[in-house]
């Protein structure tokens, strides 16, 4: 029997006030080759929007700079660990 190996990665999520901002941010991440995933907002976090953008925490400063440079409104950034 082969055991699957999992590793814990530290992620951050960007919470938005609307789904449109999450979509715009995902397109911005594509254009700038930043690894991301659009996911439902974790229940442990609150937001007015149902979706957030998950990024690797190591990319946090780059993403924050891009979001602010393009004037995309966001609620906040939150960190958490996840299994990949």
The residue-averaged pLDDT of 18-36 equals 95
Whose tokens are 């999520």? That residue is: 13
Q: What is the pLDDT of residue 1?
A: 53
Q: What is the pLDDT of residue 80?
A: 73
Measured in whole angstroms, the distance separating CA 37 from the mean position of its chain's CA atoms is: 6
- What are the residue ranges of helices labelled H in 1-84? 19-31, 60-69
- pTM to 2 decimal places: 0.81
CATH label, 19-83, candidates 3.30.310, 1.10.3470, 1.10.20, 3.30.70: 3.30.70
Neighbours of 81 (CB within 10 A): 9
Delimit the domains of the chain by residue range: 19-83
Cα distance between residue 63 and residue 47, in whole Å: 19
Comparing 46 with 15, the larger pLDDT belongs to 15
């Amino acid at each position: 029997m082969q055991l699957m190996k999992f590793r814990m990665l530290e992620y951050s999520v960007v919470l938005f006030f609307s789904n449109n901002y999450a979509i715009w941010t995902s397109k911005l991440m594509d254009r700038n080759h930043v690894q991301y995933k659009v996911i439902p907002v974790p229940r442990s976090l609150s937001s007015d929007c149902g979706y957030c953008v998950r990024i690797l925490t190591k990319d946090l400063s780059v993403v924050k700079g891009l979001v602010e440079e393009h004037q995309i409104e966001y609620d906040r950034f939150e960190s958490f660990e996840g299994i990949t």
